[in-house]
Structure 1
Amino acid sequence: MGSLQLKSIRKAFGDHEVLKGIDLEVKDGEFVIFVGPSGCGKSTLLRTIAGLEDVTSGSIRIDGQEVASVPPARRGIAMVFQSYALYPHLTVKDNMGLGLKQAGTEKAEIDARVSRASTMLSLDPYLARRPSELSGGQRQRVAIGRAIVREPKLFLFDEPLSNLDAALRVQTRLEIAGLHRRLKATMIYVTHDQVEAMTLADKIVVLNAGAIEQVGSPMDLYNRPANIFVAGFIGSPQMNFIPAGRLGEAGAKTIGIRPEHIALSRESGDWRGKVIHVEHLGADTIVYLETGAIGLLTVRLFGEHAYAPDDVVFATPDKTRQHRFDGNDRAIA
């Protein structure tokens, strides 16, 4: 079991309040990801769950037990850090089993748990090596293995892929997703990378300035953002925002339309514009248009398209996919 309930969590450093009353429930077995811009409080929130930071006020319950004043080692959690935090003088096997050894677990049990975890993570050939003999991806797998052998109630990941190159990030992301399916464990994961969030999470928590803006599945947040902040944060390239008055739209202040929901034509369309830049990505073509009264637009086209700077084109939004926001930047149903 690994349920988590946070109630009115506040954290201040002096006069600076970093977390401003966080309420959240994580069900047993869920994969929940915290996302948000730098400084939004996502890593601080993770550290309060782990017990590495004391809360200023509020309740943290793991499997129904209040743990806000319980030391980290007794909370039933295991944390995987961005920096791996491996002991350089120990072998892979000893790094993975160290926490159990320090807890007084019998050697036979340590060996059995390390063996299961190393097989799961394809680390068997490296058990006798030291961290300096491993790649970045292998070191991160060792850090994950060290967490697995503890058999925790909660796995906490603090930007675990940030130090890896692009190819290793994809590979390790797939490994973490497979690990979650096999272990059926509760995982809470912090990242600034929305691609990680969209591809891994059962549920995403979008944080901004120490508060939760929205909680939902990846596609809930993509299709039904609660406000302009979430609409602009989820999705790449970012959603286009147009003052409703420029479109003659009544009852809204801002209209949002995602780049992939705009069609381009050289002959006709709703908005005439001039291409100012094109990004040819192979699978996608990103076109940036200056459209005069509508302003700068970003358009995402699937596949390769032969647009070039200074081309005159016409853009037409899919009106069934438009988002409307009121004067407080909240979504209008």
Structure 2
Amino acid sequence: MTALKLTNVNKSFGPVHVLKDINLTVEEGEFVVFVGPSGCGKSTLLRVIAGLVDASSGTIEIGGDVVNTVPPAKRGIAMVFQSYALYPHLTVKDNMGLGLKQEGRAKSIVEDRVAKASKMLDLDRYLSRRPAELSGGQRQRVAIGRAIVRDPKLFLFDEPLSNLDAALRMNTRVEIAALHRTLSASMIYVTHDQIEAMTLADKIVVLRDGRIEQVGSPMELYNNPANRFVAGFLGSPSMNFLQRSVPGLAPGQTIGIRPEHLTLSGGGQINGKVTHVERLGGDTNLLVITDADETLTVRLFGQDQTDVGATIRLAFDPAHAFYFNDAEERVYQNAA
């Protein structure tokens, strides 16, 4: 069964065309991540799906039903915001159950669902506390629990980890992934963080300037990007793009090489000088200026001893390289 189907969805705010002919299908149980730079339209698209913003044109279907004119509360969705949006005067238990109470659900149903969600999210010991007595990660779990108790057709997450520090982001990311496996629910998750997208998604939707650039699994997009934008957006450190440093490129052509696909080699194709070294323990990043005055990053696994100022040669396997034309489109033949 299809959880969500968007057909030719557009959204304009006055003369500004924010979403442009969005076509997308989310299958039942899929975890889909919208990713892209600030201003690409990902949060607007989520709000159009939720009904918080009306589409200018196009069709939105949730669970097979067209919902363009259906108010948010009737769409069968539950939304988790970046800001938690908890009521400060209510306990954790009451925050989680409030939506069901407002819908007029029986007390026994409210208590049963809150108890199940609380156990799932390890919140039992905090049920009598108020939001001010919780950490940021705990507050976000309460917000997620409030969504779970509604048993929605579709979960919508709008950058839910942005307010957390790095350690909490990783822990909560793991919890959300585990929650998806437990619930087998359909989830749409908005983030600007490509690491969140790569680690959480069954399917990634990459947006730029209100358009979908590419849709696919994380490894499909990483290994087979459709264009330079997608290639550069996914991956950390990001892909290197060179025009002058590699011999044999066609006019207007750019070669893309991921940092982990470059190796130190006396017979390498690229010459350069190390300008900065990041020693991370498990691996080492070298920032290099090539003889053709282009900057690139090399990711070396392990604790490499290369120092700043060293002159090096770098090799790469052409089978792992990507080629782009002057319109930034992927070309699939090797450089001449």
TM bucket, shorter chain: over 0.9
Q: Deviations over 1:189-245 (max 9, x none)?
A: 000111100000000000000000000000001000000000010111111111279
User: Where does the alignment leave 5 or more consecutive residues of structure 1 unmatched?
Assistant: none
The aligned amino acid for 1:7 is T
User: Kindly, what percent of the aligned residue pairs are identical?
Assistant: 64
Corresponding residue of 2:114: 114
Instruction: Normalising by structure 2, report the TM-score.
Output: 0.96
User: What is the alpha-carbon root mean square deviation over aligned residues?
Assistant: 1.3
Say whether the 8 Å CA contact 2:2–2:25 is kept in structure 1: no
2:263 maps to which residue? 263
Matched, 1:285 2:256: no
Inter-partner Cα distance in structure 2 for 1:295 and 1:137:
42
Alignment of 1:287-302 (within 5 A): 287-293=286-292, 295-302=294-301
Supply the distance in 2 between the matched residues of 1:325 and 1:269 (Cα, whole angstroms): 22
Which letter does structure 1 place at the counterpart of 2:170?
A: V
Kept in 2, the 8 Å contact 1:36–1:192? The answer is yes
User: Is 1:92–1:131's contact at 8 Å kept on the other side of the alignment?
Assistant: yes
> How far apart, CA to CA, are the structure 1 residues paired with 2:291 and 2:244?
15
Q: Distance in 1 between matches of 2:303 and 2:38?
A: 34
| Secondary structure at the counterpart of residue 187 of structure 2 | strand
Residue 29 to residue 78, structure 1, CA distance change in 2 (3 Å):
same
1:214 paired to 2:243: no
Whether contact under 8 Å (2:245, 2:291) holds in the other structure is: no
3-state SS, counterpart of residue 305 of structure 2 = coil
Residue 312 of structure 1 pairs with residue 280 of structure 2? no
> Which stretch has the larger CA shift, 107-116 or 323-332?
323-332
Q: C-alpha distance in 2, partners of 1:119/1:167?
A: 22
Residue in 2 that maps onto 1:98 = 98
Deviation at 1:69, TM superposition (A): 1.1
Contact 2:20 2:210 in 1 (8 A): yes
Query: Structure 1 runs of 4+ off > 6 angstroms?
Result: none
- Aligned counterpart, 2:321: 322
Greater Cα offset, 142-151 or 271-280: 271-280
Deviation sequence 1:3-23 (CA, Å, 0-9, x none):
100011111111111101100
The equivalent of 1:235 in structure 2 is 235
- Correspondence 1:55 to 2:31: no
TM-score by length of 1: 0.97
Q: In the alignment, what sits opposite 2:150?
A: 150
After TM superposition, give the deviation of residue 317 of structure 1 in Å: 1.3
Q: Distance in 2 between matches of 1:247 and 1:214?
A: 30
Matched position secondary structure for 1:89: coil
Instruction: Indicate the larger mover: 306-315 or 96-105.
Output: 306-315
Q: Is the partner of 1:79 in helix, strand or coil?
A: strand
CA drift of 1:247 comes to 2.1
**In structure 1, what is the equivalent of residue 81 of structure 2?**
81
* Residue aligned with 2:6, SS: strand
Q: Residue 312 of structure 2 aligns to which amino acid in structure 1?
A: V
Measure the CA separation in 2 of the matches of 1:211 and 1:244. Answer: 31
Q: What is the alpha-carbon distance in structure 1 between the residues aligned to residue 244 and residue 211 of structure 2?
A: 28
Distance 1:133 1:123 in 2: 13
**CA–CA distance in 1 between the matches of 2:95 and 2:213?**
39
Conserved 8 A contact 2:228-2:329: yes
Q: 1:190 corresponds to which letter in structure 2?
A: V
Please give the alpha-carbon distance, in whole angstroms, between the structure 1 residues aligned to 2:22 and 2:233: 20
The structure-2 alpha-carbon separation of the partners of 1:84 and 1:324, relative to structure 1 and needing over 3 Å to count, comes to: same
Whether the 8 Å CA contact 1:2–1:29 is kept in 2: the answer is no
Match of 2:185 in 1: 185
CA change 1:251–1:240 in 2 (3 A) is same
Q: Distance in 1 between matches of 2:179 and 2:14?
A: 39
Q: Indicate conservation of the 8 Å contact 2:286/2:297, yes or no.
A: yes
Deviation at 1:246?
A: 5.0
Q: Which residues of structure 2 form unaligned runs of 5+? A: none
- Whether contact under 8 Å (1:2, 1:154) holds in the other structure is no
Matched, 1:23 2:23: yes
Separation (CA, whole Å) in 2 of partners of 1:247 and 1:147 = 55
Whole-angstrom CA distance in 2 between matches of 1:147 and 1:89: 19
Alpha-carbon separation, structure 2, partners of 1:289 and 1:245: 12
Is residue 92–residue 127 contact of structure 2 (8 Å, CA) maintained in 1?
yes
